[in-house]
Amino acid sequence: MEPKTTAMQTSLLRGADLIAAPWKNGGGVTREIAAYPHGAGFDTFIWRVSLADVAQPGPFSSFAGIDRTLVLLSGAGMLLDEAQGRTYALEQPYDIARFAGETAIDARLVDGATRDFNLMIRRGAATGEIDVWRDGEFRRICADTLLLFCSAGSVDVALAGIDGSVALATNDTLRIDDARQVSHCAVSGTGTVLAISIRYREQAARI
């Protein structure tokens, strides 16, 4: 699990480098942005963030022990039906659904294909949150790992204590490990950013 580090580490992950792969159940296409540990499979990751293209209705893959957060990025939307009767409506960009990965979910498309952003966290090992940031946002950071995903347009990200800024285009991600060493950051530009804050449980941080 996540080792302790002595210095903040940043990685720039370009959207152009993302590789398409089939869903776990073969029902769609996913593009992994990042995961921990590096190279972990579906059954071993602590957290994973990805893009998913949904071209047809059908069931979601089952991920036992995983907490999922889904954000609609583009398309007319989709409805996520639980077997128990609850429906999550993702009808506008940046609508969010949160559910347990082992829950049986069937997706219905409102009007054609959609693209969504997916955060998966292994329950008990870490927690994760997603916020939407836009131009002029000045945010304090309280996370072990912070990922800034540019979902549309372009932005510049300035980190406290570091000279200059990082330019992100659509589908680019800035990953910041040991992010607690950065007190705050600022976002400027025409784009929109999904900020993913990951916090590790104490036991996970020691391993």
- Kindly list the distances between the CA atom of residue 9 and the CA atoms of 74, 115, 165, 206, in Å, as whole numbers in the listed order: 31, 29, 15, 18
Sheet harboring 192-200: ordered strands across?
9-13, 173-177, 145-152, 192-200, 126-134
Give the pLDDT score at 41.
Answer: 84
Residue 4 has a pLDDT of 43
pLDDT for 134 equals 87
Question: Sorting pLDDT into bands at 50, 70 and 90, what band is 69?
Answer: very high
Which has more confidence, 27 or 193? 193
Q: How confident is the model at residue 3 (pLDDT cuts 50, 70, 90)?
A: very low
Q: Is 58 left (phi over 0), alpha (psi -120 to 50) or beta?
A: left
144 phi, psi to nearest 5 deg: -80, -45
Collapsing DSSP to helix, strand or coil, 161 comes out as: coil
Write the pLDDT tens digit of every residue in 73-120: 999 999 999 988 899 999 999 999 999 999 999 999 999 889 999 999
What is the mean predicted confidence (pLDDT) over 139-145?
90
* Percent over 70 (pLDDT), the chain: 92
pLDDT of residue 42: 83
pTM of the model: 0.89
Please tell me the class of the 126-206 domain.
mainly beta
pLDDT given for residue 2 in this prediction: 42
Q: Compute the mean pLDDT over every residue in the chain, rounded to the nearest whole number.
A: 89
Q: Is pLDDT of 187 > 70? A: yes
3-state per-residue secondary structure call for 110-155 = CCCCEEEEEEEEECCCEEEEEEEEECCEEEECCCCEEEEEEEECCE
Percent pLDDT > 90 in the chain is 68
User: In 3D, which of 137, 143, 115 has the Cα closest to residue 205?
Assistant: 143
53 pLDDT more than 50: yes
CATH 2.60.120.10 in the chain, residue ranges: 18-122, 126-206
Confidence of residue 23 (pLDDT cuts 50, 70, 90): confident
Output the pLDDT for position 194: 97
- Domain covering 18-122 in this structure, CATH number: 2.60.120.10
Confidence at residue 85, expressed as pLDDT on a 0 to 100 scale: 87
Count how many residues are written for the chain: 207
